[in-house]
A and B are shown apart, each in its own frame.
Chain A
Amino acid sequence: MKLKLKIWRQKNAADAGAMVDYDLDDVSPDMSFLEMLDTLNEKLILGGDDPVAFDHDCREGICGSCGVVINGEAHGPEQTTACQLHMRAFSDGEEIVIEPWRAAPFPVIKDLVVNRSAFDRIIGAGGYITAPTGSAPEGNSTRIPKPDADEAFANATCIGCGACVAACPNGSASLFVSAKVTHLNLLPQGQPERTTRVLDMVEQMDAEGFGGCTNTGMCTVSCPKEIPFVSIANLNKEYRRAVKSGRKA
């Protein structure tokens, strides 16, 4: 395959950045999208150019490192991560536009690499269950009905890639936050911190500058782990409940 690539190049956070055109021949349809970028980079390095920086690690769709906007869609045309997208999803001669996640709380570090540490701070604000090491009760002393366990699990599969934010016209992190709140607030172990968790996480999400949710739904369409849209409704429900409880975050 031959491809025309338009890639966002930005030397560092202070640089203005611009789209740059590249031609790439000999692309195999069996390559993953990231292997296509590897191939371009080998060519750039040998030609004396700076290779395109992009985040990646496990290349199995689970670590959540990779993520770029491809032809306007977070992770590209299929509902998966960029590392699990293969070039057979494109056609010979196609022009492909590649950009970093676009959202104010995810500032660009270089080229396609953005800073997603806002997500870590949201988790640090309350996205955990306090369980000191070494003093946990016997595992089966906490029974959890299977439907609750399954729903908690479905939400726990979030990989924190940030596609939901990149896909949202408001740059909202609601799907990410709702997945964690739903996972932990459903479980009996999560009850003591249920109220403060949602108040603190939402407060941190707002402080980071993520936009509000207007039920556009693009987040779930682009989510590689298919976190359900209903989780956001659950987040809102948990938040209302917490506010009503009158407890301060």
Chain B
Amino acid sequence: MSEEMKFVGEGEFYSVGEAIADDKAPGGDVETRWERRKFAAKLVNPSNRRKHKVIVVGTGLAGGAAGASLAEQGYHVVQFCFQDSPRRAHSIAAQGGINAAKNYRNDGDSIYRLFYDTVKGGDFRGRESNIYRLAENSVKIIDQCVAQGVPFAREYSGLLDTRSFGGVQVQRTFYARGQTGQQLLIGAYQALSKQIDAGNVEMHARHEMLDLIIIDGRARGIVARNLVTGELSTHLGDAVVLATGGYGNVFFLSTNAKGSNTSAIWRAHRRGAYFGNPCYTQIHPTCIPRSGDHQSKLTLMSESLRNDGRIWVPKQMGDTRPPDQIPEDERDYYLERIYPAFGNLVPRDIASRAAKTVCDEGRGVGPGGQGVYLDFADAIARMGEATVREKYGNLFDMYARITSENPYQQPMRIYPAVHYTMGGLWVDYDLQTTIPGLFAAGEANFSDHGANRLGASALMQGLSDGYFVLPTVLNNYIGSNKFAPVPTDAPEVTEVETLVKDRIEKLLSIQGDRTVDSFHRELGQIMWDYCGMARNDAGLRKAISEIRHLRDEFWKRVKVPGTGAELNQSLEKANRVADFIELGELMCIDALMREESCGGHFREESQTADGEAERQDDKFSFVAAWEYGGQGRFGTVSGDPVLHQEELIFDYVHPAQRSYA
């Protein structure tokens, strides 16, 4: 690591440890790295595989695909999901599509171009080796899903249809109407169901992982709670895969499913797995604004609406006239004004920040002034209502259902919302965390998107990890190690079991005067205000102090009704919100340390003269891998987190400033 890279010294809230490196990625030509890694990986004789048990937590695109593929290879898979069925994992809600470098359009696409776009789109905070592999696997993913019967959109010729997405200049996005995530997940779920029926996968639905068991330095099992009976059980195996999704619900309001949580990866972090880039949150500009304090989650509207809709707010502060009574010259089409070249089609982070700015100025529309207009009046005048209906009808219907407003007659209201987290457990090229035998896949790891994820890339990463990467790297891990059986009464096992039990009893015993949701909402507000679309030094310090106060309050005043020996949804939430509070603090510390702007992280102190995000490659071209500092058992602080820096090296795509003016 170069001298400049050691810039980050001791911080007020953290200390700095040894640098960290990814020692699994082969060097040399980026095009052949994955081939060479696969060839070098150890194999396990098919007849020996059944002797090995692999624990997979989560059944979304990454977990479902991994469970199905590993079982098919012959491993004995023990799998978990908190939903009532593996088919309901949150991958199901993804709308837009999945990228693949098939070049079916002969428009100049290639694996290299998808790789290039992804490195650049991630604002040069991702790893070239991982990203190239992702682009390489994208082609096989489509083949695999077609073979499973995923009903991708087709042309009259019977060939697969594609469209362009997220401002990319080639048509590489495969889709199944607005339900691509659902169709891909159902494909993986069906493959998994076959393996469950065949007895190769032991499926535990309505179970939640509460802790990780480590023996001789390696991950060997988990403690899970049966959400119906409350029973705690210990499951031991030879490797553990966490495919548990992202942690956007730290903000309370987000486009994530209500159950999406951080517990599995956070408990693993508490046991020693480093957490990579926690502050990288993607905020999506086109969500339906909240309608009141009762709001429980936010709904995304496809970004494609920005192709034809014009975004504006009144020029005058506090203008409460209905939109049709605001004359043209009193409207501010601010994106078209500030970014004449890209107009309403600027990237997600730019559009989101601009909306926040005009609302902060007091020019927002709708309840609480937290909204901007997305107006189709011009589009309807230009191409007719019928054409608009054909193109966007389902989105307009969804909007009308939620808001009871008719978007054909008055402009829609939109506002940015938390959508995806690029951070997650730090993993090497083999998707292995800093705990040997513990792997993290999909949104649960930090690895492939850098500081910003391109549209239609999340599904690609989940399936690449699940179908193609994990089967290879798990073979290698299992083939390279010896596994002595773990006695169920080993001290490492009973210690973790006791801790999990104590924590549940503690949560039930507080019997305070505040509900779990009230804490979650308060945490979400702090995170949104100070660690949301724009962050600054003073705000982040304030957030850290408020979160610490909130954590103390939580462990004194939370009220969890019922017992631990039944279906108890308040207890489930309490367990998760306690983790969100700790993670929220680490997100703020990470954001405070990163004194640059990049991707979804906008530090107000680091911007160009015209207000654009300014990356500082000389100081911050690294992954922040955080080691748990030891916050004590129940909300007490005993140590600061330790920052380990992984230097990022760009041999192929050279960092350049983004500009959209």
Contacts and interface: CB of A to CB of B under 8 A. Distances in A.
Contacts of A109: 228, 567
B559 interface: yes
B629 interface: no
A56 to B, nearest CB: 6
A135 to B, nearest CB: 8
Contacts of B228: 109-110
B146 A86 contact: no
Contacts of A39: 294
B658 interface: no
30 contacts: A28-B294, A29-B404, A30-B403, A42-B518, A49-B561, A51-B561, A55-B84, A59-B257, A62-B92, A62-B182, A63-B92, A64-B87, A65-B84, A80-B401, A113-B567, A117-B84, A120-B203, A121-B197, A123-B87, A129-B190, A131-B147, A132-B72, A133-B72, A136-B147, A139-B146, A143-B157, A146-B158, A149-B151, A187-B151, A189-B146
A64 B88 CA distance: 7
Contact of B196 (A32, A60, A124): A124
Contacts of A34: 296
Which of A56, A133, A140, A157 counts the most B-chain CB atoms under 10 A from its CB?
A133
A110 B563 CA distance: 14
Interface residues of B, number: 78
A110 B566 contact: yes
Interface string B74-96: 00000000011111101011000
Nearest to A87: B294
B294 A45 contact: no
A146 to B, nearest CB: 5
Nearest to B194: A128
A96 interface: no
Contacts, number: 209
B259 A57 contact: yes
A42 B142 contact: no
Contacts of A131: 144, 147-149, 191
Nearest to B559: A45
B515 interface: yes
Given A84-B401, A116-B85, A157-B179, A60 B93 contact: yes
B503 interface: no
B102 interface: yes
Given A51-B570, A125-B197, A63 B151 contact: no
A53 B570 CA distance: 9
Contacts of A42: 515, 517-518
B87 A183 contact: no
Nearest to B182: A62
Interface string A61-80: 01111000000000000001
Which of A29, A56, A58, A132 counts the most B-chain CB atoms under 10 A from its CB?
A58
A185 to B, nearest CB: 10
A156 B294 contact: no
Contact of B142 (A59, A60, A139, A157): A139
A129 B569 CA distance: 36
Given A62-B92, A143-B157, A143-B159, A124 B194 contact: yes
Interface in B174-203: 176-177, 179, 182-183, 186, 189-191, 193-194, 196-197, 203
Interface of A: 11-12, 28-32, 34-35, 38-39, 42, 45-46, 48-51, 53, 55-60, 62-65, 80, 84, 86, 88, 109-110, 113, 115-117, 119-121, 123-125, 127-134, 136-140, 142-146, 149, 152-153, 156-157, 159-160, 183-184, 187, 189-190
Interface of B: 65, 68-69, 72, 83-88, 90, 92-93, 102, 104, 140, 142-149, 151-160, 176-177, 179, 182-183, 186, 189-191, 193-194, 196-197, 203, 205, 228, 257-259, 291-292, 294-297, 299, 401-404, 467-468, 471, 513, 515, 517-518, 559, 561-562, 566-567, 569-570
B412 to A, nearest CB: 15
Given A58-B93, A128-B194, A50 B562 contact: yes
Looking at chain A's contact residues, the main secondary structure is loop
A124 B294 CA distance: 39
Contact of B153 (A46, A133, A149, A189): A149
A114 B90 CA distance: 20
A133 B144 contact: yes
Contacts of B69: 133-134
Contacts of B155: 146
Contacts of B471: 133-134
A113 B104 CA distance: 46
A148 to B, nearest CB: 8
A138 B193 contact: no
Nearest to B511: A48
A65 B559 CA distance: 26
A-B pairs with lowest CB-CB distance, top 8: A124-B197, A143-B158, A128-B190, A136-B147, A131-B147, A30-B291, A136-B143, A153-B151
Nearest to A125: B197
A123 B193 contact: yes
A207 to B, nearest CB: 13
Contact of A157 (B158, B160, B182, B292): B182
A32 B566 CA distance: 27
Nearest to A115: B84
A159 to B, nearest CB: 8
Contacts of A127: 190, 193
Contacts of A125: 197
A80 B394 CA distance: 13
A60 B95 CA distance: 11
A32 B92 CA distance: 20
A189 B149 contact: yes
Contact of A45 (B258, B403, B515): B515
Contacts of B84: 55, 65, 115-117
Nearest to A39: B294
Contacts of B148: 128-129, 131, 189
Contacts of B160: 139-140
Contact of B515 (A12, A46, A56, A65): A46
Contacts of A138: 143
